[in-house]
Amino acid sequence: MLRSVDPVDLLKAAWVENVSFQAMKTDSTDAPLSSGALSEMATKVLGHGGIPEGEQTTWQREPVLVSMALTSLAGLTYKLAVLAGHTTVDAATFLDWYQVTLTNAVGSDGYLDHAQAAIASGSNAIGFPAKQLNRLADKAQYDQAGLIGFPEDGLFWYTDGGTVDNEPLGRTIDLAQEVASDDQRLFLLIHPDPAFPMSPPSPVWGGDAPLPPWARTGTHAFSIGRDQSIYEDLLRLEKTNSRLEWIGTVAPAVASGIDAGIRDANLSDDQANRLRGSLAGALGQALREVRGAQEDVAVLANRHAVDRGGDDTSDWTTILDTLVRAASGLEERDQIRVEVVSPTVDPSVTEPPSQQLAGAFFFHFGGFFDIKFRQSDFALGYRNMRYWLTRSLGGYLQGVDLSDALEQVDRRYQQLGWDQIRWGGAQLGTLSRREKWSLYRLGLHVGHVIVHDVVHGGA
């Protein structure tokens, strides 16, 4: 976006053409697959001579904030404040973040530097070795968050952030709150593999089905864990939206009751004003106590307290609203609009996602066996996104003519030429003999890595 790189060419190169088990294989005993191969792929796509940039006049001017979850293998500790006893409990976190704001001034070298963090964030520990990053430049952020144990050299070993965090909406919403804007916000969740229980139950997982195959159970459990986190994320979002709506009714309802009481008691203007002043004083004192408790928590946890200005007001309804939001933890939050793009977006397609996706098998590594699986899933994602753009985007851009843009989307899909490549529902049994032989060799290498670690004390 920042440098107008052709999106289809870029994503096709990154996700279809340059990734395969063949490209990522290694003889190293560090792990079954090569992390170095991922760096080489990043160079092919993002480096000099990679996918060409567009004309500078078309570059995006607005910066892009990127935040990637990381699992820190060492972890860090922090003080968990127990306010009732004014004490702390030592706690640990293994969740870390790599965050960077990119502008169109960043060139290929900069992207390749940040790609190392992306590789660390996405390198599943089942297949790839841990990735080391130097976070010394970010030390102040760790200190500000009250995290303890930052190494002197700033070096951390990381693995896939999804190991401990699969809640993209919550993180994105928190980041968006920091970007001031009066525009209406829409959060778009790309959910390529939503798992849904079947009714009646699948003949594999329910009823009097025999013992499920071990490999299929493992891949299914992997999907369940990830999807459960995302659905919990959505559930929390909807709860937050509901609570924000309910909170908004508190101050007006109390104000209406107070005004009715004043009328019924036939209070004079002076008496009514004294009542409202007393309310403002009592509520203001309660709010100051909450603010003090928030500061105490920050001090106990060795964090910097959030500077919350704007509490100085004599309007008791504003103070009440602020107090309720502060006490509920929903201060400075707004209701959120979320839409989901997934294989379920088109109601005319009745097949479940598992029967539309080609590369979801083998712990979601199935697409690495054959380019046809990757082409199938790429085209599926394109169709899902095209459906959403056609049916939903216009509702958020009233008065904007999208016909030229949508025509371009359709034209690029036709140029892709992958509409008839549909391998949805592929499983290990779908693999050719050559692919099964590659899997067998990969299995031998995995065994070799395990034996090496056991012999050398790494397991």
Is the residue at 1 inside a domain?
Answer: no
Domain assignment present for residue 398? The answer is yes
Q: Give yes or no: residues 90 and 38 share one domain.
A: yes
pLDDT category at 197 given cuts 50, 70, 90 is low
Domain boundary residue among 328, 357, 392? 328
Is residue 190 one of the residues assigned to a domain?
A: yes
Same domain, yes or no, for 409 and 290?
A: no
Task: Give the three-state DSSP class for 109.
Answer: helix
- Name which of 77-86, 122-131, 340-349, 385-394 the model is least confident about: 77-86
Q: Is 426 exposed, middle or buried (0-12, 13-18, 19+ CB in 10 A)?
A: buried
| One domain, residues 340 and 389 | yes
CB-CB contact of 198 with 128 (8 Å): no
Please, are residues 21 and 369 in contact by the beta-carbon 8 Å criterion? yes
Model confidence pLDDT, tens digit, residues 36-45: 999 999 999 9
Residue type, 300: L
Contact (CB, 8 A) for 349 and 343: yes
Same domain, 214 and 342: yes
Nearest 5 degrees, angle CA 312-CA 315-CA 320?
90
SS3 of 35, please? helix
130-158, pLDDT tens digit by residue?
999 999 999 999 999 999 999 999 999 99
- SS3 assignment for 420-457: CCCCCCCCHHHCCHHHHHHHHHHHHHHHHHHHHHHHCC
Claim to verify: residue 322 and residue 231 sit in the same structural domain: no
Last residue of a domain, one of 309, 328, 347: 328
Report if residue 209 sits inside a domain.
Answer: yes
User: Distance of CA 241 to CAs 63, 228, 252, Å?
Assistant: 28, 20, 18
Domain-located, residue 2 = no
Instruction: For residues 158 and 131, give the distance between their C-alpha atoms in angstroms, rounded to a whole number.
Output: 5
Res 199: pLDDT: 58
> CA-CA distances (angstroms) from residue 198 to 51, 69, 190, 353?
42, 31, 22, 11
Please state the rounded mean pLDDT for residues 172-181. 83
- Kindly state whether residue 44 falls inside one of the protein's structural domains: yes
Residues 357 and 438 in one domain: yes
Q: What is the pLDDT of residue 84?
A: 67
- Domain count of the chain? 2
The label of the residue with tokens 């860090």 reads: 76
How many CA atoms are closer than 13 Å to the CA of 282, on its beta-carbon side?
7
How many Å apart are CA 235 and CA 48, to the nearest integer?
43
How much is the pLDDT for 296? 84
Question: 3-class SS at 75?
Answer: strand
Radius of gyration of the chain (CA): 27
Q: In which band, very low, low, confident or very high, does the pLDDT at 389 lie, cut at 50, 70 and 90?
A: very high
Residues 215 and 282 in one domain: no
**Residue 240 CB contacts under 8 Å (≥ 6 apart), including other chains:** 330, 333, 336
In this structure, the answer to whether residues 191 and 306 fall within a common structural domain is no
Tell me whether residue 201 is in a domain. yes
Cα gap 129→30, rounded to integer Å: 6
Helices (H), 265-402: 269-300, 316-328, 353-356, 361-364, 371-391
Q: Which residues contact 84 (CB under 8 A, 6 or more apart)?
A: none
Residue 290 lies in a domain: yes
297 shares its domain with 379: no
Is 350:359 a contact under the CB 8 Å cutoff? no
281: domain range?
244-328
Exposed / middle / buried, residue 324 (Cβ in 10 Å: 0-12, 13-18, 19+): buried
| pTM score | 0.83
pLDDT at 165: 86
Residue finishing a domain among 328, 350, 379: 328
Residues 173 and 277 in one domain: no
Q: In angstroms, rounded to a whole number, what is the distance separating the alpha carbons of residues 96 and 74?
A: 11
| DSSP per-residue letters across 171-225 | HHHHHHHTS---SPP-EEEE-S------SSPPTTTSTT--PPPHHHHHHHHHHHH
At 131 the pLDDT is: 95
Distance from chain centroid for Cα 324: 29
Which DSSP symbol is given to 25?
B
Q: What residues contact residue 190 under an 8 Å CB cut-off, 6+ apart? A: 341, 342
For 47, which DSSP code?
Answer: S
Q: Quick one: 251 and 226 in the same domain?
A: no
Query: What would the two tokens of residue 264 be?
Result: 């019924």
d(CA 174, CA 331): 12
pLDDT higher than 70, residue 342:
yes
pLDDT in tens, 288-330: 999 888 888 888 777 777 776 657 788 999 999 999 999 888 8
41 and 17 together in one domain: yes
What percentage of the chain has pLDDT greater than the value 70? 95
